[in-house]
Structure 1
Amino acid sequence: MITRRLTLGLLASAFMPRIVEAHSFEPEYLRPYLRAAQLPELNERIPKRPRVINLASMGRDPGNYGGDMRILIGSQKDIRLMTIYGYSRLVGYNEKLELMPDILDRAEVIEDRIYTFKIRDGHRWSDGSYLTSEDFRYVFEDVIMNKELRKNGPPREMLVDGKPPRFEVIDLLTVRYEWDGPNPDFLPKLAAPQALSILLPSAYMKQFHEDYQDSVRLSAIMREQRVKKWTELHVKMSRQYRPENPDLPTLDPWRNTTNPPAEQFVFERNPYFHRIDENGRQLPYIDRVLLNVSSAAIISAKAGAGETDLQSVGLAFSDYTYLKDAEKRHPVRVSLWTRTQGSQVALLPNLNFTDKVWRPILHDARFRRALSLAINRDEINKAVFFGLAKPSADTVLPESPLFRPELAAAWSSFDPEQANALLDEMGLSNRDSDGIRLLPDGRAAQVVVETAGESTEETDILELVTDHWRQVGLSLFVRTSQRDVLRSRAMGGDIMMTMWGGLDNGVPTADMNPGQLAPTMDDQLQWPLWGLYYISNGDKGSAPDLPEAARLVELLRDWRHTTTMDERTRIWNEMLDIYTQQVFSIGIVNQTLQPVLRTAKLRNFPDKGLYGFDPTSYFGVYMPDTFWLEERV
């Protein structure tokens, strides 16, 4: 675990003699390249101190090389899943959500403001070029600080009190980032599913940068790539998160070999990947991952027909019975992992709603609490989730060290009597002949909930909530619209309430940024204009005009200046208290289950796990490079 100073990988050298002596340690897939002298031997391909993954200590078995693993994706953009699943990061989380050096040999941290990174000696990109401090320098000086490439300046994660770090190249394998104040967000952002990018293969990327490329040649490449500006060219060719450029060298376990558009994307093993098992075998075990593009609507049907070897995307809990039955017809296995959201779905009152009568009502915590108390979560759990989920507010899960039972219970019990009392207390006591409460202007209190209409689960839940809210004199009307339209209308203040997912990260540690609890992004549908104000540094949107929301932003700024775990924990606890007590998001149930289907041949795959984008990167922290395919089942 990364604390103040950490060194990892010192034992790797103990395994090196076995690699040198045993040619059988070479993957069969690479032998043709070795015979043709197109690749160096294994001991020359991996760092002098590779990262050693001790599988036995993880309760797993060292595996065998070989095989293809098929995965279905709903669109070509989903090739980003390989970056998420591969989860090769400068520093990354392990299964216990502890930060560990991965690509880096060491990360030394002083006062959470001075970060010294040591690169593994002999580490190479997938094209065989060496990873050096120049790759970090290029990104910082020629990309991040380049006003043409980044018109809005450095990313927020690299600013402390509005100032970027001082960057220094110490030597060929060492770089340092230094701020005047603490930046506790730096390492977690490097470990994120969509990681903060601070390095690129500079030798490759310089051909697309005007400071390094001849103008005539640069213009020719721009015409070839059909872009009008060199900055567009650089962005297009440098995408790491969505690896559409097969020529871009990578540090991931598998590299894309297919240009889009395509119906199948082939990712083949990176012969220079930096991890080995305890026996000296280079990871990954699996040679190729085949991403087959399909209609998202039929992924579950194809999975049940045995057309995929590892599948979670495109599968819902409602598919579980069908998928489980597929075990009788095909050599597949189905597991249930725990989803990490604070709530599987949540109702988000838009505090930026422009209706002059509804806005003060939505701003009143009593109204939000009444809506929450009026929901019969036990009934929803039994009807939609077969009683396997946990009724809860939208908050952290028991797997988080920040979990407290009172957070889950905050305004989430079924208490229509108290809900009625709160609504009466607000002055909404008059009703029409149908028993629906009347607004101050005489309109019926009809709550319009908008959804993207992408889930029958949402429809089923809203049907039940409609009955629950009618019992306290509120009418519910459901409107569906496309996802992009919905977000645009929320930003414009035209939406009263949405049904969306709850907190993205329900298993945080105090070292993780608590920004999800405050208005910090314009896609947070309960306060999009306040989020826009935050990310634009006050240039757009509007400042929070609720004291509790403003306090959340203030606490987040305090967190970004912390240097101790005690300080961070205190801030997290206060923010969780405010968020749940104010019911800024109306949670329904959490700890819901995600079906995961895999071929029966797949080994080292955990039967149980935490499933979510952030922080586990879906399968990422469970290291798919250690999965392997057994020939016989």
Structure 2
Amino acid sequence: MWRRPALLAFAFLTLSAFTGIEPPILENAVGSGALPPVEKRLPEHPSVVAMDWPWQKPGRHGGDLNMLMARVKDTRLIYVYSYARLVALTPDLKIVPDILESVDETDSRVFTFHLRRGHRWSDGQPFTTEDFRYWWEDMATNPKRYPGGPPPEMLVAGEKPKVEFLDEVTVRYSWSRPNPFFLPMLAGAKPVEIYAPAHYLKQFHPRYTDEATLKQRVEEARQKSWQQLHNRKDNLTEFDNPDLPTLQPWVPVTAPPAERFVFVRNPYFHRVDAGGRQLPYIDRVIMTVADAKIIPAKTGAGESDLQARYLRFDNYTFLTQGAKRNDYRVKLWRTGIGAQMALFPNLTCNDPVWRALNRDVRYRRALSLAIDREELNQVIYYGLATPSNNTLLEASPLWKADYRDRWANFDVREANRLLDAVGLTKRDVNGVRLLPDGRPLEIVVEAAGESTEETDALELIADSWRRIGARLYIRTSQLDVFRNRIFSGETCMSIARGLDDAIATADMSPAEMVPVDQAKYEWPKWGQYHQTMGKDGEPPDMPAAKELLDAYRAWRDATDEQGRAAAWERILTINADQVFTIGTVAGVPQPVVARQSLRNLPAEGLFNYDPGAHFGMYRPDTFWFEAKENGG
């Protein structure tokens, strides 16, 4: 049995050596008896943030953190940014206990969770294994609440876990086969929360509330059934129900619809700094809704204390011009996607001639070799990106230079040789190669039309592809239409962002690089076949694709990190050699704007949704203002 260590980047100590320090904003509530003192609000063994990263130092309580969001729905990103999880990622991508005090793991099959004794929900009620039992028995395995059964993240080859509630602070999950997805899922930006505030939700459940009372509550809420009412009330990740208790550092107090959403400190939050100050340092987070098109301008005018979302690299110059005048700083963070843009030859497209061509590795390699990535980098990104395949980034411990560079150098001569070897030797009067059926080699690249960046890049690629006898044309459509055309096989090639998780570790799933998901544009019908268990789509019929699936099964069944790393290496090597997707550049910087007085935000960071939770991995509960800001 192996125990997840509790003393890593964010240490877990006891408060026996010091007295807890009360946030000033709560002093009146404590003095009046409305709240117990901080020592009684914390777990027996709180999470003590060690402040041992170079950019961190102990801070002070107080202040409001203002942010801008483009839609009401986007305010749920407070859950992502807050990033309190059962287990959580540290900035060096280690998974450590967070809400949990510790985890015992055996062969990636058995996981025993130890809760923090005395931990409480934001309303002061105890957080215990009853909350795990309620979610599992009364929600996840209740066909009236979850008609499709438990979330797929809780199943291994269709097998549900055996769940044991050993005592009020110990719960165990076990499967007969390894489940390497489990802990990384729980550390995700938006995991399946496998617990729920039972004391609050029981009032909406027929097992715990009499029929007449529950019927009245359903009618008052204008819902059709208790299931609908419960569903509206129980989502911990949406942050749209101010009455729903939470374990996150800030608690919502604004119900939609609204244009200004306020989140106040959780008085029972489980983290403290080494001096005993209960976190978060900042009292309130305020999210104001504004049109996405004007958010860069409003940010440049100083209306946001911390902003990255809705800002693009081409906003950087404008933002730096207003920095001194409006009291903010602008930093460029790394992004965690495999390629800023990638081309996706659809191996399952309907047109038989294009399908055969897309499946010829010589053709895919030729197109990749005929892209001048350094020109893209200099013209569009001022040389600040890295020419690259669509693969892992150097920040990943699994990275190798060969994955980035194979078939990615600019070599028109070799590209032409490969196309000749494919058999595309005939040309029309304009020098355009001809397909086997006589049609010209006119490659229509479909895009969602969401940015001019893609169009600019495709125009540069079109120029270099002319040198190999190919013509490139761009077709744009709305996102839903764009995706449906790809899924149905109408699209032969598309352009979109690359790998979402390009900073993976061996413990993270390699599913993005394997044909198991319809949403992967290079093999949508193969992915659909896997997701529907053979009911729809097409079974993979290329040897390399079958080898990827075999390596994926090896990763899934491995019982240790070494076995998973070996499976990853096979998957990465196959993808680099086969060029299933054609990357362009990676590491395009993301502008991050922060108030000059905001502390504990690293000058250099990684801005990535999952893993990373955008700012979440850097623990915004530890951010603080050096001087009073915004009335704080």
> TM tier, shorter chain?
over 0.9
Q: How many residues align?
A: 627
- The equivalences for 1:273-288 within 5 A come to 273-288=269-284
Partner Cα distance (1:422, 1:598) in 2: 49
Partner Cα distance (1:326, 1:135) in 2: 49
Amino acid of the structure 2 residue aligned with 1:526: E
SS at match of 1:484: helix
Amino acid of the structure 2 residue aligned with 1:271: P
Find the counterpart in structure 2 of residue 607 from structure 1: 603
Partner Cα distance (2:144, 2:305) in 1: 44
Cα displacement string for residues 313-349 of structure 1 (whole angstroms, at most 9, x for unaligned residues): 0011111111111113210000011111111111111
Q: Is 1:491 matched up with 2:487?
A: yes
Amino acid of the structure 1 residue aligned with 2:69: I
Cα displacement string for residues 588-615 of structure 1 (whole angstroms, at most 9, x for unaligned residues): 0112211100111101110001111111
| Superposed displacement of residue 452, structure 1 | 1.5
SS at match of 1:449: strand
Unaligned stretches of 5+ residues in structure 1:
20-24
Among residues 417, 421, 427, which one is paired with 1:421 in the alignment? 417
Partner Cα distance (1:213, 1:58) in 2: 52
Amino acid of the structure 2 residue aligned with 1:615: P
Q: Is 1:6 matched up with 2:5?
A: yes
The answer to whether the 8 A contact 2:62-2:628 is kept is no
| Superposed displacement of residue 157, structure 1 | 2.5
Find the counterpart in structure 1 of residue 239 from structure 2: 243
- The equivalences for 1:68-79 within 5 A come to 68-79=64-75
Q: Is 1:83 matched up with 2:79?
A: yes
Tell me which moved more, 283-292 or 220-229: 220-229
Cα displacement string for residues 340-362 of structure 1 (whole angstroms, at most 9, x for unaligned residues): 11111111112221112211111
Amino acid of the structure 2 residue aligned with 1:262: A
Find the counterpart in structure 2 of residue 22 from structure 1: none
Find the counterpart in structure 2 of residue 222 from structure 1: 218
Amino acid of the structure 1 residue aligned with 2:466: R
SS at match of 2:203: helix
Partner Cα distance (1:141, 1:444) in 2: 61
Find the counterpart in structure 2 of residue 549 from structure 1: 545
Cα displacement string for residues 405-430 of structure 1 (whole angstroms, at most 9, x for unaligned residues): 11111111111111111111111121
Partner Cα distance (1:192, 1:93) in 2: 8
Change (3 A) 1:249 1:366: same
Partner Cα distance (2:219, 2:353) in 1: 55
Tell me which moved more, 119-128 or 343-352: 343-352
The answer to whether the 8 A contact 2:373-2:585 is kept is yes
| Superposed displacement of residue 5, structure 1 | 4.4
The answer to whether the 8 A contact 1:139-1:199 is kept is yes
Percent sequence identity over matched residues? 46
Amino acid of the structure 1 residue aligned with 2:364: R
Among residues 561, 566, 589, which one is paired with 1:593 in the alignment? 589
| Superposed displacement of residue 537, structure 1 | 2.4
Q: Is 1:479 matched up with 2:459?
A: no
Partner Cα distance (1:128, 1:283) in 2: 16
Amino acid of the structure 2 residue aligned with 1:83: Y
Partner Cα distance (1:151, 1:551) in 2: 35
Partner Cα distance (1:454, 1:10) in 2: 43
| Superposed displacement of residue 15, structure 1 | 4.7
Partner Cα distance (1:463, 1:561) in 2: 44
| Superposed displacement of residue 59, structure 1 | 4.5
Partner Cα distance (2:53, 2:300) in 1: 33
Amino acid of the structure 1 residue aligned with 2:574: I
Find the counterpart in structure 1 of residue 402 from structure 2: 406
The answer to whether the 8 A contact 1:222-1:230 is kept is yes
Tell me which moved more, 414-423 or 566-575: 414-423
SS at match of 2:201: helix
Among residues 580, 583, 595, which one is paired with 2:579 in the alignment? 583
| Superposed displacement of residue 3, structure 1 | 5.3
Unaligned stretches of 5+ residues in structure 2:
none
SS at match of 1:537: coil
SS at match of 2:79: helix
Cα displacement string for residues 514-563 of structure 1 (whole angstroms, at most 9, x for unaligned residues): 11111222221222222222222223322222221222222212211111
Q: Is 1:336 matched up with 2:332?
A: yes
Amino acid of the structure 2 residue aligned with 1:561: D
Find the counterpart in structure 1 of residue 38 from structure 2: 42
The answer to whether the 8 A contact 1:448-1:479 is kept is yes
Find the counterpart in structure 2 of residue 504 from structure 1: 500
Find the counterpart in structure 1 of residue 147 from structure 2: 151
SS at match of 2:237: coil
Cα displacement string for residues 117-143 of structure 1 (whole angstroms, at most 9, x for unaligned residues): 011011011111110001111111222
Q: Is 1:385 matched up with 2:384?
A: no
The answer to whether the 8 A contact 2:342-2:495 is kept is yes
Partner Cα distance (1:585, 1:41) in 2: 57
Among residues 507, 529, 550, which one is paired with 1:533 in the alignment? 529
Amino acid of the structure 2 residue aligned with 1:6: P
Among residues 128, 133, 138, which one is paired with 2:134 in the alignment? 138
Given the two structures, how large is their TM-score scaled by the length of structure 1? 0.96
Partner Cα distance (2:480, 2:28) in 1: 48
Partner Cα distance (1:434, 1:59) in 2: 59
Tell me which moved more, 47-56 or 10-19: 10-19
Change (3 A) 1:59 1:72: closer
Cα displacement string for residues 18-47 of structure 1 (whole angstroms, at most 9, x for unaligned residues): 12xxxxx21122223223322111011110
- The equivalences for 1:437-452 within 5 A come to 437-452=433-448
SS at match of 1:371: helix
The answer to whether the 8 A contact 2:4-2:96 is kept is no
Partner Cα distance (1:208, 1:488) in 2: 38
Among residues 307, 312, 334, which one is paired with 1:311 in the alignment? 307
Change (3 A) 1:472 1:15: farther
Change (3 A) 1:221 1:368: farther
Amino acid of the structure 2 residue aligned with 1:442: G
The answer to whether the 8 A contact 1:389-1:591 is kept is yes
Change (3 A) 1:470 1:226: farther
Partner Cα distance (1:264, 1:535) in 2: 40
Cα displacement string for residues 170-191 of structure 1 (whole angstroms, at most 9, x for unaligned residues): 0011100111121121111100
Given the two structures, how large is their TM-score scaled by the length of structure 2? 0.96
SS at match of 1:457: helix
Partner Cα distance (2:543, 2:14) in 1: 57
Find the counterpart in structure 2 of residue 358 from structure 1: 354
Find the counterpart in structure 1 of residue 228 from structure 2: 232
Among residues 193, 196, 199, which one is paired with 2:195 in the alignment? 199
Partner Cα distance (1:289, 1:11) in 2: 26
Find the counterpart in structure 2 of residue 18 from structure 1: 19
Partner Cα distance (1:124, 1:569) in 2: 38
RMSD of aligned alpha carbons: 1.7
Amino acid of the structure 2 residue aligned with 1:253: P
The answer to whether the 8 A contact 1:15-1:279 is kept is no
Partner Cα distance (1:117, 1:198) in 2: 12
Q: Is 1:397 matched up with 2:393?
A: yes
Among residues 318, 321, 324, which one is paired with 1:322 in the alignment? 318
The answer to whether the 8 A contact 2:56-2:600 is kept is yes
Among residues 249, 254, 261, which one is paired with 1:253 in the alignment? 249
Amino acid of the structure 1 residue aligned with 2:499: L
Change (3 A) 1:168 1:421: same
Change (3 A) 1:537 1:152: farther
Amino acid of the structure 2 residue aligned with 1:501: R
Among residues 288, 295, 301, which one is paired with 1:292 in the alignment? 288
SS at match of 1:424: helix
The answer to whether the 8 A contact 1:523-1:531 is kept is yes
| Superposed displacement of residue 295, structure 1 | 0.8
SS at match of 1:108: strand
Change (3 A) 1:225 1:550: farther
Change (3 A) 1:419 1:57: closer
Find the counterpart in structure 2 of residue 101 from structure 1: 97
Tell me which moved more, 445-454 or 94-103: 445-454
| Superposed displacement of residue 16, structure 1 | 5.9
The answer to whether the 8 A contact 1:15-1:280 is kept is no
Q: Is 1:301 matched up with 2:300?
A: no
